[in-house]
Structure 1
Amino acid sequence: MSIVVRDVREHELDSILELNNAAGPSILPLDGARLRRLYDTAEYFRIAEREGAMAGFLIGFGSGTEHDSSNYAWFSAQHADFFYIDRIVVASRRRGGGVGRAFYADVQSYAEVRYPLLTCEVFLEHDNDPVRLFHGSFGFREVGQHVMPGSGIRASMLVKDMCSYAWVRETYGGRLPDAPWLGRPRVARRTAGARA
């Protein structure tokens, strides 16, 4: 029962919307228009499959984009260069089966050659001790808290240093080798001059 992590396909957006809105109070709900904007602008938008069925998704943005999340804006005010995990959702029947770990291994592999920090937040209002423990086990640490305007939800703002980033930047500058395993950002395929 292997887990496959791959880029999202446009025809999967309805399933992603349903999965997101069934996730419970630890994930903000989406409507179709908002999900479409995320699809059109996210640097990283991947799904996980297990046994041929969608098991979850993860959406992320690099620094310097026009992402309109208040949590992203908080990180932008604190750090010049980072990769932000906007949301990760794992289907309830797949939780505890390694899907979240597969996503975090994949997104870290993507981010560590491009950004010095991997960032995300965890809501504090809900019973999220397992989520905080999960992030702590991946080396994330809290660097502050942020109350989200409109919702009043308090979030623990987490960062993880990408220890390979300095070496990659020193060795390759801003141009990564053309290797299939490195992948290329989705935005770069759509927008000329996007970050490589």
Structure 2
Amino acid sequence: MSIVIRDVREHELDSVLALNNNAGLAILPLDAAKIRRFYETAEYFRIAERDGNMAGFLVGYGSDSEHDSCNFAWFQQRYPSFFYIDRIVVASRRRGGGVGRAFYADAQSYAELRYPQMACEVFLDHGADAALLFHGSFGFREVGQNTMPEVDVRASMLLKDLCSYGWVKETYGENLPDVPWVGHTRRPLAARPTGT
């Protein structure tokens, strides 16, 4: 019954796409090209497994990325350095079972070593109370709203200060220790071993 969070593997992209497109109105649909772009460019692209089955995924970008999301651009225009959660999807049968909390703990552990803030959005037009409560319980606060012009969806723009970042930056600068749990930035696709 444990939850395992690990980097996505290339052969799993079709499963990730299906999971995304079955998630309901709170998540925008994707196509294979967009999933491939996440795989090639996302700083953080991890899946959760529970009982050996894919239970969800989370995609994140650092503020200096060239990500093509209008919500990401909204944060870039207002904040100099942040880690952006583009999307988190949890399989419907796994919701309420701790997968989302495990993802946010893992993403925060990664982000707080590199960024002073973590950003995300919650769509407001499709019954957002549970998602807003979930994010509020993790310390996120609304810093504005944005209407996504291409889909006419209004989003609550959420931000969280990462209190460990200052100490890590002062102590280690850009030279984080080479230990497995630090989870160094994903390598570009060309640098990954074949079959991973």
Q: TM-score range by the shorter chain?
A: over 0.9
CA deviation profile, 1:24-55 (whole Å, cap 9, x unmatched): 01001000011101110000000000000000
TM-score by length of 2: 0.95
The alpha-carbon deviation at position 149 of structure 1 amounts to: 1.3
Q: Which runs of 5+ in 1 are unaligned?
A: 192-196
The alpha-carbon deviation at position 190 of structure 1 amounts to: 5.2
The alpha-carbon deviation at position 144 of structure 1 amounts to: 0.4
Tell me, yes or no, if the aligned pair for 2:19 and 2:56 is still in contact at 8 Å.
yes
Q: 1:123 maps to which residue?
A: 123
> Does residue 97 of the first structure (1) align with residue 97 of the second (2)?
yes
Task: Give distance in 2, aligned partners of 1:175 and 1:92.
Answer: 40
Tell me, yes or no, if the aligned pair for 1:48 and 1:55 is still in contact at 8 Å.
yes
The alpha-carbon deviation at position 150 of structure 1 amounts to: 1.3
**Amino acid across the alignment from 1:81:** S
3-state SS of 2:30 partner: coil
Q: 2:153 maps to which residue?
A: 153
Q: 2:110 maps to which residue?
A: 110
CA deviation profile, 1:65-97 (whole Å, cap 9, x unmatched): 110000000000011100000000000000000
Q: 1:194 maps to which residue?
A: none
Task: Give distance in 1, aligned partners of 2:158 and 2:181.
Answer: 27
Q: 2:183 maps to which residue?
A: 183
3-state SS of 2:77 partner: helix
Q: Which runs of 5+ in 2 are unaligned?
A: 192-196
Task: Give distance in 2, aligned partners of 1:190 and 1:57.
Answer: 22
Task: Give distance in 2, aligned partners of 1:190 and 1:32.
Answer: 19
CA deviation profile, 1:114-154 (whole Å, cap 9, x unmatched): 00000000000011100100000000000000010111100
3-state SS of 1:78 partner: coil
> Does residue 169 of the first structure (1) align with residue 163 of the second (2)?
no
Task: Give distance in 1, aligned partners of 2:188 and 2:84.
Answer: 17
Q: 2:66 maps to which residue?
A: 66
> Does residue 4 of the first structure (1) align with residue 4 of the second (2)?
yes
**Amino acid across the alignment from 2:61:** F
**Amino acid across the alignment from 1:10:** E
Tell me, yes or no, if the aligned pair for 2:41 and 2:188 is still in contact at 8 Å.
no
Q: 1:76 maps to which residue?
A: 76
Task: Count how many residue pairs are aligned between Structure 1 and Structure 2.
Answer: 191
Tell me, yes or no, if the aligned pair for 1:42 and 1:187 is still in contact at 8 Å.
no
Q: 2:35 maps to which residue?
A: 35
Task: Give distance in 2, aligned partners of 1:124 and 1:57.
Answer: 21
